[in-house]
Amino acid sequence: MILSPDRVAAIATARADKPKMRERDLANVLNIREAEILAAELGHGVRRIAADPDRLLARIPALGDVMALTRNDFCVHERRGQYLDYRADAHAGMVLGPDIDLRIFPSHWVHGFAVERSGPDGTRRSLQVFDAAGDAVHKIYLQPESDLAAYDALVADLAVADDAPFDLAPRAVPEPIRVNEAKFDELRSAWPKMTDTHQFLAMTSRLKFDRLGAYLSIGAPWAVPLPVNAVEQALRQAGAQAVPIMVFVGNRGCIQIHSGPVARLEPMGPWFNVLDPYFNLHLRADKVAQVWLVRKPTKRGDAISVEAFDRDGHLILQIFGKRAEAATDTGAWDAIATGLAAEVMA
């Protein structure tokens, strides 16, 4: 679709009324998609670029140090570093650098923009990718140390004409939690036989459960419900003990992973935040409806996670222990997570 003059004017008026409001929040106020905000501002600090991850992510290492941002409705994951070791795949690509760690689902990388915003600290530049519905998938923010010449070359080489088709699909209709009562016994038989966490999705797909439906069905000791504040408790304990963890936050098009300790933890209103130099996390704690401790068997011992879901049963984030190269468990993290479950089951 091409935005109508009336739509462009309405967005411009709203932007003038709320100049400091983030695009996502402004889109929610206007009941439109975030990508529409940027499409309405083409030529005013916004340019269209190709969103194909094979073309885009192959160029990002040249930018040097940047900030990667992936979010869903209720959690924002920000990680500084360099994009290294991009591995292309038609179904699920990866960035496997020590700082930026991503799982990429290319079919959802549909609309791309290069965005420049002027502010009191100078011009902030970013590359932003959206799915077919116009919702954010992944964003890359330049830092003071980033290579501006490489950025300019990337934007020029990946430029898409402003008048190229810009069609937005309807958002996917949320599905109810999926439980297949006829396959309870098969689920209970198959779960202990897993040897890798990546087998979980194949197992649940074959048996026609979704993630939360499987947790509700399998029960203890494999899945144990925790209090809704268990994510905050887990992060606080991991921070206090300097326990390295892995924090996964994603959407349909991208999953972003932090591996390492967390230190500066601060609640601010409804948000619970990690505010470390190279990793920031912003969780809408009031939107967490369920938290589960989950055990998945692997060849190196159980992988134990704490996982948060919203009221519709959608995954918000996962926390695992960071396993040392030769370790068979994640010791200190396992003690934190199982301690939370022990309090519930006592």
230-259 pLDDT tens trace: 999 999 999 999 999 999 999 999 999 999
What per-residue confidence (pLDDT) applies to 165? Answer: 82
pLDDT for 121 equals: 85
Residues 37, 149: Cα–Cα separation, whole Å: 27
Domain boundaries, the chain: 5-87+109-157, 181-345
When pLDDT is averaged across residues 217-233 and rounded to a whole number, the result is 97
Instruction: Give the pLDDT confidence of 322-336 residue by residue, as tens digits.
Output: 987 666 567 899 999
**φ, ψ dihedrals at 317, nearest 5°:** -160, 165
DSSP calls for 227-288:
-TTHHHHHHHHHHHTT--EEEEEE-SSEEEEEEE----EEEETTEEEEE-SSEEEEEEGGG-
Stronger pLDDT, 341 or 68, i.e. the higher one: 68
Element (H, E) at 48: strand 46-49
SS3 of residue 179 by DSSP: coil
Structure tokens belonging to residue 323: 């396993």
Q: Which CATH number fits domain 5-87+109-157: 2.40.40.20, 3.40.1570.10, 1.10.540.10, 3.40.50.150?
A: 3.40.1570.10
- Which tens digit of pLDDT belongs to each residue from 298-317? 998 999 999 999 999 999 99
At residue 205, the pLDDT reads 96
Prediction pTM value:
0.95
pLDDT of residue 346: 53
User: Distance between CA atoms of 113 and 37, rounded to whole angstroms?
Assistant: 11
156: tokens are 């020029």
Q: Could you say which DSSP state residue 134 is in? A: S
181-345 has the same fold as 5-87+109-157: yes
Q: Would you call 157 helix, strand, or coil by DSSP? A: helix
Contact indicator for 67, 143 with CB cutoff of 8 Å: yes
Query: Helices 230-240 and 331-345: crossing angle, nearest 10°?
Result: 140
CATH class name, domain 181-345:
alpha beta
What is the Cα–Cα distance from 98 to 84, expressed in whole angstroms? 8
Q: Are 113 and 47 in contact (CB under 8 A)?
A: yes
Strands 75-81 and 66-72: what pairing? antiparallel
Q: Quick count: other Cβ atoms within 10 Å of Cβ 29?
A: 12
Q: Tens digits of per-residue pLDDT, 104-157?
A: 999 999 999 999 998 888 899 999 999 999 999 999 999 999 999 999 999 999
pLDDT confidence bin for 55, thresholds 50/70/90 = very high
The CA distances from residue 100 to 245, 262, 313, in Å, are 15, 16, 28
Element (H, E) at 332: helix 331-345
